[in-house]
Chain A
Amino acid sequence: MPTMTEPSAVSAIRSRLAADSDIQLHKRWSPRILTGAAAAVVVLVVGILAYTVIAGGTLHWDVVLQYFFSGEVIKGVGVTLLLTGVSLVGSAILGSVLATMRVSHNVVLKVIASAYVWFFRGTPVLVQVVFWFNLALFLPRIAGWDTNQLITPMTAALLALLLNVSAFMCEVIRGGLLSVDPGQVEAALSIGMTPRQSLLRIVMPQAIRVILPAAGNLAIDLLKATSLVYVIGTRELLGTVQSISSQTFYVIEMLIVASLWYLLLVSVASFLQARLEAHFGRGAGRQALSRRERLRRRAIAHTEEKVI
């Protein structure tokens, strides 16, 4: 209700409002018109581009479809997945070893792991791919073996990708280990766990929550980075479509085939990553409880409040 101290104009409006109990609020049109105009412009630009490509371009979508499921391309996809899978598993192992070295108290282990990360993270992966392929140029024999026999396009690609990704994986794992409160280790030790038990049963399950999203991104980057090794003649997905297009001259079509496959693989990887993250999210405060469990807990909380 209006008080005597209020300015008369304000109290006049208020008394009028009180009289009309239902207020009709009118829309403001100017921002809606502006965003609507912007949307129209964007649709126009996209439309023109799409029309130019579809009407004016000479894309053979039948060729895309034909090669998308061809045995040769499927084989290339297989090699891409093999390169990704082996590098990922290998880097999880080597990365864990390196991360353990970096967080250890031994200076020598620390320095060696840090130098590894510094080198392999600091040079382009393409340079590393070409380097391993040409290893024989300065190291003709390795432990009695002919280097040229050991280093095939496949082994050079695997070596380069695995060693490179391990450096990144080391940092991802180390970040995960450091993210766990040191109090967790102390609590684990205080109930009688050995340091190894506390690492495996208490620290790792918590670190994995920090590691998984970053490792997932790394895996997706790796999946796409495998395309780099086509420069040394590895017949993975990109290498395969490149060789097809050099024979058929369907250059753009074959790039579209490769792109669609990469998009498909990355989509599947993203889905798997989301599932894994949900699985390891227990106790983080956002775990999904069943409706029944939620209601039960609310009832408990309610009765406890009453007692207190």
Chain B
Amino acid sequence: MTAPAVDGVADVPVVSLRGVRKNFGDLQVLDGIDLDVHAGEAAFVIGPSGSGKSTMLRCVNSLETYQGGQIWVGDYLVGAERKGDRWVEAAPKVTAARRADIGMVFQRFNLFPMMTALDNVVSGMRMVGGVRKQAAERRGMELLDRVGLSARAGFYPSQLSGGQQQRVAIARAIAANPRLVLFDEPTSALDPELVGEVLDVMRDLTREGMTMMVVTHEIAFALEVADSVYFIDHGVVVESGPPSQVIRDPQHARTREFLTRVRNDPHEEP
């Protein structure tokens, strides 16, 4: 399966997983995952709870380690550095610098509670990027404006609704113009009436051509905005392709069964 080409530079994927395996003790979480995400592509990952999709996403920016296969982001191998003719574990500083170029949005927002919305958004620019306060805050206000929260810049996370917190978290994730943004079930912890405002922001990002990997249970949203959909079960990619195919016309019984179940209960808890 090849994702839709964008600009003709799509031949070098932004993210490329080859035979990725991971286990927690005896439990095989990832059992040989193959996946490619090209520049400008929104790749959606769906699957039952415990299928390994969140773990896979977390491997891409080294929040988890993997035990087999390869994960490439652009030109580097995740978790490793080339030293002469050998691969060695990546130094913490190298891993940190690589992560700075990948945004991540978490299920439970994970905003920094002692910082205002604006300080959260500029935290990466200020503490990692070394951007001057004034420039960072100007860009921070632009980002808050993009997610419709410029009036809330001085608010602390505890004073914001779940949907607002997640929008701030998205602004924080895209602040450093990352080459890729990872979404780990961004709407699963939200009250149903707050899901829409977060999906609106994500829809805008796909329109702007942001490269994204999205783990989600929002099947209707995936059908609407995804460029490609991967159905993962028991640590393997069961089926993948454009959403019109995987969601509208699934070829595998497991995919069909999962989609029926999720449609009956769209807020299946992980």
Report A's interface with B, CB cutoff 8 A. Answer: 181, 183-184, 186-197, 201-202, 205-206, 282-285, 287, 293, 297, 300, 304
B14-22, B30-38, B97-105, B135-143: which lies at the interface: B97-105
Interface residues of chain B, those whose CB is within 8 Å of chain A, are: 61-63, 92-93, 96-97, 99-104, 106, 108, 110-116, 123-124, 127-129, 151-152, 154-159, 169, 172-173, 175-176
Q: Choose from B112, B127, B156 the contact partner of A287 (Cβ within 8 Å).
A: B156
In contact, A194 and B114 (Cβ under 8 angstroms): no
- Please tell me if the beta carbons of A205 and B114 are within 8 angstroms of each other in the complex: yes
- The answer to whether A285 touches B128, judged by C-beta atoms less than 8 angstroms apart, is no
| Smallest Cβ-Cβ distance to B100: which chain A residue | A192
Q: Is the CB of A190 within 8 A of B112?
A: no
Known contacts A191-B99, A191-B172; A283/B114 CB under 8 A: yes
Cβ-neighbour of A186 out of B100, B106, B152, B158 (below 8 A) = B106
Contact among B110, B128, B157, B175 with A193 in the assembled complex (CB-CB below 8 Å): B128
Q: Choose among B104, B106, B113 the residue that contacts A206 (Cβ–Cβ < 8 A).
A: B113
**Complex interface: chain B residues within 8 A of A287 (CB):** 156
Q: In the complex the two chains form, is B112's CB within 8 Å of A202's CB?
A: yes
The answer for the CA separation of A37 and B124 in the assembled complex, in Å, is 65
List of A residues within 8 angstroms of B173 by Cβ? 190-191
Residues in chain A near residue B110, CB distance under 8 A: 181, 183-184, 186-187
A285-B156, A300-B152 known; 9 new pairs, CB 8 Å cut-off, are: A181-B110, A187-B104, A187-B111, A189-B62, A189-B63, A194-B92, A282-B156, A283-B114, A297-B155
A285 touches B158 (CB 8 A): yes
Given A181-B110, A190-B102: A283 touches B156 (CB 8 Å cut-off) = yes
B104 near A190 (CB under 8 angstroms)? yes
Q: Please measure, in the bound complex, the distance between the C-alpha atom of A187 and the C-alpha atom of B169, giving whole angstroms.
A: 9
A196 neighbours in B (Cβ, 8 Å):
92
Residues A191 and B114 in contact, CB atoms below 8 Å apart: no
Write the nearest CB–CB distance from A48 to chain B, whole angstroms.
Answer: 53
How long is the Cα–Cα vector from A276 to B19 in the complex, in angstroms? 53
Nearest-Cβ distance from residue A194 to partner chain B, whole angstroms? 4
- A192-B113 in contact given A183-B106, A197-B127, A201-B127 (Cβ < 8 Å): no
- Measured between beta carbons, the chain B residues less than 8 angstroms from A197 are 96, 127-128
The listed residue (B92, B100, B154) touching A191 by CB distance below 8 A is B100
Chain B's closest residue to A196 (CB) is: B92
Known interface pairs A192-B124, A194-B92, A304-B151; A284-B113 also in contact (CB < 8 Å): yes
Instruction: Contacts A186-B110, A187-B106, A283-B158 given; indicate if A194 touches B151 (C-beta within 8 A).
Output: no
- Shortest B145–chain A CB gap in Å is 14
Contact A190 B114, CB 8 Å, known A195-B92, A197-B127, A283-B156 = no
B63 touches A190 (CB 8 A): yes
Query: Please, which residues of chain B bring their CB within 8 A of the CB of A189?
Result: 61-63, 96, 99
Whether A283 lies near B157 (C-beta < 8 A) is yes
Contact between B106 and A191, CB atoms less than 8 A apart: no
A187 touches B92 (CB 8 A): no
Instruction: Find out whether the CB atom of A191 lies under 8 angstroms from the CB atom of B123.
Output: yes
Interface hub of B96, B115, B124, B175 (most chain A Cβ within 10 A): B96
In whole angstroms, how far apart are the Cα atoms of A206 and B93 in the complex? Answer: 24
Contact B112 A183 (CB under 8 A): no
Q: Once the chains are docked, how many angstroms separate the CA of A264 from the CA of B19?
A: 69
Contact A285 B159 (CB under 8 A): yes
Residue of B with least CB distance to A194: B96
